Structure 1
Amino acid sequence: MKVFTAEQIRSWDQFTISHEPVSSIQLMERASIAAAHWISEHFKNHKKLAVFCGNGNNGGDGLAVARILYLKGFDVDVFVGDSKRKFSEDASVNLKRLRDLSGISVRKLSPGEHYNFDEKTIIVDALFGTGLSRPLEGDDKKLVEQLNNKKNSKISIDIPSGLSADGIFDDSSVILKADYTLTFQCWKRTFLHPETGNYTGKVVLLDIDLSKTYAETTGSDYSVIDDQLIGSIFIPRQEFSHKGTYGKAVIVGGSYGKIGAAVLATRSALKTGAGLTFTLAPECGYDILQLSCPEAMFIKGGDTFIFNFETDKDVTCGVGPGLGTHSGTEKSFLSFLKSHSQPLVLDADALNIISKDQKNLKLIPKKSIITPHPKEFERLFGNTDNSFKRLELARKKAKELNLYIILKDHHTQIITPHGKVFYNITGNAGLAKGGSGDILTGILTSLLAQKYSEEETCILGVWLHGRAADVASEKHSKESMLPTDVIDALGTVFEELNRKAERNL
């Protein structure tokens, strides 16, 4: 699913209006019906609403939502914007429709009012939409600050008031902190970054049937990984196949005291379906690996750390989990990079070794996949002011070095050498534990060994990792789930994928 800018979304609305055809007020009604239906279905025990509406089209949505919910039996109080500001044409129509109803309170927003609601009143935010081009100030800022101090549940229509759709205004901006954001047709980029996504609460995507032609023909470098994309990538296992069909994966990692990382990566590679899986590790981990991963074969790379990275030429290597940064390991690893031409999966200490000298970046084989978390990225490429600038630096470096960068975050970003960005929306805070990255390395190495392309490997691998974490959290909770629970959940996820593939035959 493409992620469009605020300007592109406005053009999408206009394209739909002119080509369907449908009027702008009818399109607003369509969006408002969708939002009102969601609220009525999910807040059946909360019959009182306070709807705050601005003077623009976002306010028009709020006015229509208020009318529809009132007619559904909700007790609705509506607060409208300053009459000194001109209402948009469609907002004016919906304000008149609302005032034609008896029994619904419509009051003007007052800077000095305290808005005393009981705890079950739902606050609906329709003050400012995607057209906002500057931080809130004056009475608008004070109002949002006041609403933020309320403990009531808050629902934003399309976007939390004060938030830009495309980036950050400044660090001191006041933004309404919603519990739910009911957004229309596509994600906004700010929903997907930590500095701004923290204000959206749970994002609910409502389909209001905007033009599919526009979506298909309009370009965007940014996308959200959705079920349709995953379905187009995933290849079900063929009946007439053998272990040679699914490649050879080699996990290169482990050192004294860090063999567990190599175990996690190896187990996840096995669970993801590589035909043959090997672990190149120091001899101190031999017993542990053979007992915990009997399906994998062991290759000795040293005694207590790896100093020999030699592998067969027809294998796919994932290097880094628990590797350590011993001087002997560092020297041997850099030598390995100089002689290796096939794409690699690089994580953890492999990246830490590379980051010691910027010249090492040029040793990474073309089309390799690197998986830094923000601190590792900073060590590799330098510091940035925020995650938006970090992503743009990643796009620059991916193109410059011909690499695929998986930038780990709450919504992990996949950056291709061609400048494309894919945001992943599976996964949860239960992955914020040591070992989660080792699992991802194993998944990616296994998929790349199975001859998925580098881009497909990144997209499917990150999605699988997050979806398995979602399954694990449902069973064990985010607090108690372990990386091994995520590995065990991979089977459930593959069952889901295979069922969907069968239905699509």
Structure 2
Amino acid sequence: MKIFTAEQIRNCDLYTIKNEPVASIQLMERAAQSCVDWISENCNNHRNFAVFCGNGNNGGDGFAIAKMLYLKGFDVDVFTNPRTGFSVDAQSSFKSLKEISGISIRDLKEAENYRFDGRTVIIDALLGTGLSRDLQGELKELVELLNLQNNIKISVDMPSGLFADKISPHHPTIFRADHTLSFQFWKRTFLHPETGKYAGKVHILDIRLSEDYISETPTDEFVIHNMVKDIFRPRNEFSHKGTYGKVTIIGGSYGKMGAAVLATRAALKTGAGLTFTLAPKCGYEILQTVNPEAMFIEGGTDFIETFEAGENSALGIGPGLGTHEKTAEKFLEFLKEYAKPLILDADALNIISQDPKNIALIPEKSVITPHPKEFERLFGETENSFVRLDLAKQKAKELDIYIVLKDHHTQVITPQGQVFYNITGNSGLAKGGSGDILTGILTSFLAQNYPEKEAAILGVWFHGKAAQYACEKYSKEAMLPTDVIQSFGNVFEELERKVARML
């Protein structure tokens, strides 16, 4: 799914109006109907709606929503400021609303004395994507007042005060929604931690904007969604273990064998044909007991002192590796001689970050998987996640590598400057060991001859999707990385269904 800028979305609206053709007010009503359908289904225990409408087309959406909710039997109060004038479509929508005698229309200032009871839902239709500057004056005070209420809050298309494409350099007032009903597209700011927190749970509503415009308009930013069904390759019945490649997980040290165990288990459970674990001798019994399907290669006593590539093996290096002086020395020597793409995570990245010169040793087309702190150690501190992403794009291009930048919405950054945001997963992954699982998944897909870009995109989606299944069974708090691995079968079954629907 493509991510468009606010300007591209406006152009998409105009293109749809011109080429469908459809009147702009009809497109507004179509968008409003999609919101009302969602609200009716998900807020049917609430009877009262307080709809706050601005003067532009987002306000026009709000007026249409208010009218439709009332006609469905809900009690509706509308707050607006008609004295400053409306856009053409908002004025038409407002005029239609005023013809309904049962809807109370109030001034925005009356919100101060309004009784927000427990069954009232607040709907924000103040600004949408038309924001050009931070909220000020009465509008700022209104949003601050609404944020103090404990009611369910829904934003139409965008939370008021939030930019679609950038982060404000100040500390702006922004409507804090529980749900955002976004028309057709994800906005970039929904996907970054500093700004996404204001959008709450995002729901993409299809309002049938022009498919021609969407397909023909270029962008370098995407949400990983249906593309996984085009990447995934179902298992061939006439195949053997050699068909699915060879994985070598290099990791583990005294006290950190669990990380290597998890990465190895994840590689096994994602379909690698043969799996090896190169680890220190102290982990032999642990690895052979927990993962009997994998083969053990001794690489030292309490920490790894020798690095072996193995013939035609995809390498995943880092889980539990440690940063012992001898390990670091031998690892850097290995990188100087190794030229094939590999997966680098955790302590492999920490060793590389000890000297900026080491970064040039990362083989081209490799996939590195830093969390924000590891990224900072590698490439330097950044002001926020937007700047961090820009730096990641620069480094991916310079080094000709893929960067899997782990975050709430993990980003896959390609050497060509493309960014793929992942929207699967949950906060249950905020536990030690989750990243080790991802390393195993990515290495397994690489071994199965998925190109690096496809392995990274499919891998982060797969990881997050398994976490969602694990959460359903155990909860975010109680789920463990091992539970995520146990959910891999559910994800493969879902992928099989997605592919089957294409046939």
TM over 0.5: yes
Contact 1:111 1:142 in 2 (8 A): no
Distance in 1 of aligned mates of 2:154 and 2:167: 21
Percent sequence identity is 66
Distance in 2 of aligned mates of 1:81 and 1:221: 39
Number of the residue aligned with 1:59: 59
Of the three residues 385, 388, 404, the one matched with 1:387 is: 385
Q: Per-residue deviation at 1:112?
A: 7.6
Number of the residue aligned with 2:453: 455
Number of the residue aligned with 1:102: 101
Number of the residue aligned with 2:408: 410
Q: Per-residue deviation at 1:133?
A: 1.1
**Cα distance change of structure 1 residues 314 and 112 upon mapping to structure 2, 3 Å threshold:** closer
Equivalent position amino acid for 1:382 in 2: G
**4+ aligned runs moved over 3 Å, structure 1:** none
Number of the residue aligned with 2:141: 142
Contact 1:5 1:165 in 2 (8 A): yes
Deviation per residue, 1:334-380 (Å, 9 max, x gap): 00000001101000000000001111010000000000000000000
Query: Does 2:181 correspond to 1:182?
Result: yes
Number of the residue aligned with 1:79: 79
- List aligned pairs for 1:242-261, cutoff 5 A: 242-261=240-259
Equivalent position amino acid for 2:365 in 1: K
Q: Per-residue deviation at 1:307?
A: 0.8
Contact 2:51 2:62 in 1 (8 A): yes
Distance in 1 of aligned mates of 2:81 and 2:129: 17
- List aligned pairs for 1:3-402, cutoff 5 A: 3-81=3-81, 83=83, 85-110=84-109, 113-227=112-226, 229-402=227-400
Distance in 2 of aligned mates of 1:42 and 1:464: 28
Deviation per residue, 1:225-274 (Å, 9 max, x gap): 012x0000000000111100010000000000000000000000000000
Distance in 2 of aligned mates of 1:187 and 1:413: 14
SS across alignment from 2:243: helix
Q: Per-residue deviation at 1:223?
A: 0.2
Equivalent position amino acid for 2:355 in 1: D
SS across alignment from 1:110: helix
Distance in 1 of aligned mates of 2:222 and 2:162: 20
Distance in 2 of aligned mates of 1:239 and 1:62: 54
Q: Per-residue deviation at 1:111?
A: 7.0
Deviation per residue, 1:451-496 (Å, 9 max, x gap): 0000000000000000000000000000000000000000111011
TM-score normalised by structure 2 residue count: 0.99
Q: Per-residue deviation at 1:115?
A: 2.3
**Cα distance change of structure 1 residues 129 and 267 upon mapping to structure 2, 3 Å threshold:** same
Aligned residues: 503
Number of the residue aligned with 1:495: 493
Contact 1:236 1:498 in 2 (8 A): yes
Contact 1:59 1:128 in 2 (8 A): yes
Equivalent position amino acid for 1:78 in 2: V
SS across alignment from 2:204: strand
Q: Per-residue deviation at 1:311?
A: 2.5
Distance in 2 of aligned mates of 1:4 and 1:157: 17
Q: Per-residue deviation at 1:113?
A: 2.7
Q: Per-residue deviation at 1:504?
A: 2.1
Contact 2:79 2:111 in 1 (8 A): no
Deviation per residue, 1:130-149 (Å, 9 max, x gap): 01011001111000000000
Contact 1:249 1:316 in 2 (8 A): yes
Q: CA RMSD in A?
A: 0.9
SS across alignment from 1:144: helix
Distance in 2 of aligned mates of 1:98 and 1:314: 69
Number of the residue aligned with 1:444: 442
**Cα distance change of structure 1 residues 226 and 112 upon mapping to structure 2, 3 Å threshold:** closer
SS across alignment from 2:130: coil
Q: Per-residue deviation at 1:114?
A: 2.9
Contact 1:111 1:143 in 2 (8 A): no
Deviation per residue, 1:193-233 (Å, 9 max, x gap): 00000001110110000000000000111000012x00000
SS across alignment from 2:348: helix
SS across alignment from 2:131: coil
Contact 2:248 2:310 in 1 (8 A): no
Distance in 2 of aligned mates of 1:455 and 1:250: 20
Contact 1:4 1:186 in 2 (8 A): yes
SS across alignment from 1:130: helix
Equivalent position amino acid for 2:61 in 1: D
- Consecutive unaligned residues in structure 2, runs of 5 or more: none
Distance in 1 of aligned mates of 2:72 and 2:158: 24
Number of the residue aligned with 1:465: 463
TM-score normalised by structure 1 residue count: 0.99
